[in-house]
Amino acid sequence: MPQKFNVPKTRLVAVMVIVAAAFIIYTIYLASMQIVNFSEYQQRAKEVASREAVIIAQRGEIYDVNKDYPLVMNIPSFAVYVTPGELNDEEKQTLKNNLNKYFNIAINELDQKIPEQNGSFQPVEIKDAVEYDDIVFIAEHIDDFPGISWQNKPIRGYSEDGSISHIIGYVGNITSEDLQVLYNKGYDRNSTIGKSGIEKQYDMLLRGKDGTRMRMVDVKGRRIEEDEQVIPPENGKSIVLTIDRHIQTLCEKALGERIGSVVVMRPSTGEVLAMVSYPYYNPNLFYTDRGKEVYNRLSLDPRFPFLNRAIQSSYGPASTFKVIMTTAVLEENAFPPNAIVTCTGSFRLGDRSFNCHKLTGHGPLTLAEGLAESCNVFFYTMGVDYLGIDKIADYAMRFGYGEPTGIDLPGEIRGLVPTPEWKQKVYNTPWVGGDTANVSIGQGAMNVTPLQIASAFSMVVNEGVAYRPHVLKQVLDQTTGEILSEAEPEIYKTSNISMDTFKTLKKYMRGVITDGTAKWVITTKAVEAAGKTGTGQMGLQDQWDSLFAAYAPYETDNPDERIVIVVDVEGVNEWEWWAPKAADIILQGIFANQTYEEVMDEFKNRWYILDLQKRLKEKAEAEARAAAESSGSALNE
C-alpha cells in the first residue's frame, strides 16, 4: 500500500497565502501599468517604434562674379540607407549579397558599414548619387532588400568643368578621421563635406543644417501613423566668387595643355579674377558609378592634376626676382642708378664663373638697362658686391616671400627665402658667395608660388601696400538672393620703401616691355603694360621654366582698372618661352574685350612678323660682332 503523507494545515495555509499575495501584487502592478502609468509606457513604446529620418539641407550654390548662372548647383538624386537593428544575421547577409549583385557595391565596403554586431536603429548610408530608376527597382524588389530605406539627397553638378575645378573643389562623404574633428560642429557619419577648394574652405556656410522627421513604424519599418514631427532643414548659403569665368576661360585657353599656372588679380582689392592650373580634372566624374576608379587614376597621375600649381607649387622666381633686387639697390642707395656694370658674358667669383643668359655679354649697362635686358652679370654684381644675402633676404620678405598670402583656399604653401642660418640648420654647411650669386637672379634655394609673385607685384603697383588675395566676394541667401555679407579688402602687407623707389621701379619695369626682353613678345595694342620676364633652370636637367609677371594699364586714373598677371609654364613642357606669349593673349583679351579665338586671329600674323624681325636683328648683330672681332684681329697682326 502506498504510504500516506499528512501535510500540516498551517503550512498549506501559508503557501496559499503566499500565492494569493503574489497574485494580488502582480494584479496591482499590471493595473498600475495599464491605468496609472499608461501614458509613460505608451511614450516608451513609441520611442522604440519611432524612426528618425534626416531631411537633407540644400547645399548652397556657387556663382562667379557675373552672377548670371551657377557654376555649381544641386542635381536631384537619392541616397540609400539601411537600419542594422531591423535585421538578423541572415537578413544582413542577404542584403549584402543583393547590394553587391545589383549595385556593384563591394562586400568588404558593406561589411564596414553593416558589421554583424551592429544592432543600431540609426540608418546608415550605403550609397549616394542613386538614380530614380534604381530606387524604383529597389521598391519593386523590396523583399530582396530588407532594412533598406531611401530619401532625396542632391549631388553637386559643376557647369564649368575645366580649370576652375581647382578653385571650386569637390565634395565627398565624411571619413572617420574627419568626423573625429567635426562631430561637435553638427556633422555625422552620413554627412557630405567639402574635400578641396571653396567647397572645403566654406563648407560650414555652404552645407546648411539638416532637418529631422520623426514617424511611427511597425516591426517591418512600415509607417503606421499619419502624424509626424518635422524640424525643417536650414538650407546652405550661396557664394559669389571674385572669379570672372570669361577671364578664367581666356587664361585657360591661353595656357593650353601646358603644365603650369596663371593668376590674374586686381591689386587695388586683392580680388582674384582668374586662377588656372593645368592639368585639371572634372569633378562631375566623381559622382558616377566609376567615380572611385576615376579618382584613383587621377591620384596616381604623375602630372598631379589635383595640385593647384598657383598656390601649392613653388618655383625659383628666376628673373622676376630682379624686380626685388632693383628695389633693394634703389632703396639702399647701394649702387648709383646711372653707374655702369660691363657684362662680358660671365661673372667670376673665386674659382667659379657664373654665366649670363647672353653668353657674348650685354656690354655696359645701367640699372634700368640691366633690368630691361635681364642681365645676370649685372645682378650677380649687385648681390655679391653691393647688397649681400642679409639685405636680399630682407627685401624678399618685405614683399611677402617665404610666408603664405593667406588666400581663402586650402593648401597654400609658404615657399622659401634662404638665409645663412637656414642653410646651416638644414645642410650643416656655411653660406658661400655662390649661394648669394644664385639667389640674386632668383635661382638656388629661393622658392615662391605664382600667387606670391602676383602679390609682390601688387605691392609695387600700390607703392607699398598689398591686399590679401581672396576669391570670396559675397554670401547670399539661397532662397531670396539677398546679400548677407560682402568681403572687404584686407591689407596684409605694408612696406616702408619710399614712394620714389616704387615710381622709379615702375618706370624701369615699363622699359622691360618697350626696350627689353619682352619687346618681341608683348605685342598687344589694347593696353600699355609693365612687367618682367623670367627663365629659370629646373635642377641639373636642361629644362627651363618660363615666367612672366606684369601689370596693366601702366598709367591710369582708376586703380580698380588695373590687373596683375603672372604666368608660369613649367620646364617639363617643350621649350617655347610661352609664358609672356600667353600673357600677351590674356592682356589683349581682357582690355580689348575679345575671346581667345578673336585674339589669335589678330595675333597670328603679328607674331610671325615680329619673330622674323627678331631673328634678322640677332643675325645682323652676330655678323657685326664677327666683323668687329675680325677687324680687331687684323689690326693686332
Which long-range contacts does 215-221 make (Cβ < 8 Å, 24+ apart)?
A: 215/50, 215/51, 215/53, 216/46, 216/49, 216/50, 216/51, 217/49, 217/50, 217/51, 218/49, 220/86, 221/51, 221/83, 221/86, 221/147, 221/149
The mean pLDDT value for 522-549 works out to 88
618 vs 581, residue with greater confidence = 581
183: containing domain: 50-241
Domain boundary among 199, 224, 241: 241
The mean pLDDT value for 200-212 works out to 92
Predicted local distance difference test score (pLDDT) of residue 570: 92
14 vs 139, residue with greater confidence = 139
403 pLDDT band (50/70/90 cuts)?
very high
Per the CB < 8 A criterion, the answer to whether 316 and 446 are in contact is yes
626 pLDDT band (50/70/90 cuts)?
low
Lowest mean pLDDT among 114-123, 200-209, 232-241, 442-451: 114-123
216 pLDDT band (50/70/90 cuts)?
low
The mean pLDDT value for 133-156 works out to 87
The mean pLDDT value for 168-182 works out to 90
CA distances from 121 to 148, 420, 513 (A): 12, 63, 70
465 vs 8, residue with greater confidence = 465
87 pLDDT band (50/70/90 cuts)?
confident
CATH number at residue 72: 3.90.1310.10
Closest CA to 206 of 214, 217, 198: 198
190 inside domain: yes
The mean pLDDT value for 289-314 works out to 92
Lowest mean pLDDT among 193-207, 586-600, 622-636: 622-636
122 pLDDT band (50/70/90 cuts)?
confident
Number of domains in the chain: 2
348 inside domain: no
pTM: 0.85
103 inside domain: yes
Condensed to tens digits (0 to 9), the pLDDT of residues 330-358 reads: 999 999 999 999 999 999 998 899 999 99
Phi, psi of 484 (to 5 degrees): -90, -35
Per the CB < 8 A criterion, the answer to whether 321 and 442 are in contact is yes
180 inside domain: yes
134 inside domain: yes
Lowest mean pLDDT among 87-91, 513-517, 600-604: 87-91
635 pLDDT band (50/70/90 cuts)?
very low
Q: What is the dihedral sign for C-alpha 254, 580, 603, 588?
A: positive
521 pLDDT band (50/70/90 cuts)?
very high
194 inside domain: yes
Predicted local distance difference test score (pLDDT) of residue 571: 86
Residues in the chain, how many? 637
547 inside domain: no
Domain boundary among 241, 271, 302: 241
Predicted local distance difference test score (pLDDT) of residue 632: 47
447 pLDDT band (50/70/90 cuts)?
very high
Condensed to tens digits (0 to 9), the pLDDT of residues 377-389 reads: 999 999 999 999 9
Predicted local distance difference test score (pLDDT) of residue 562: 97
141 inside domain: yes
Instruction: State how far the Cα of 333 lies from the Cα of 337, in Å rounded to an integer.
Output: 8
Predicted local distance difference test score (pLDDT) of residue 40: 61
Domain boundary among 241, 273, 297: 241
| Helix or strand run (H / E) with residue 484 | strand 483-486
636 pLDDT band (50/70/90 cuts)?
very low
142 pLDDT band (50/70/90 cuts)?
confident
Helices in 117-164 by DSSP H: which ranges? 132-140
Predicted local distance difference test score (pLDDT) of residue 634: 45
The mean pLDDT value for 309-318 works out to 95
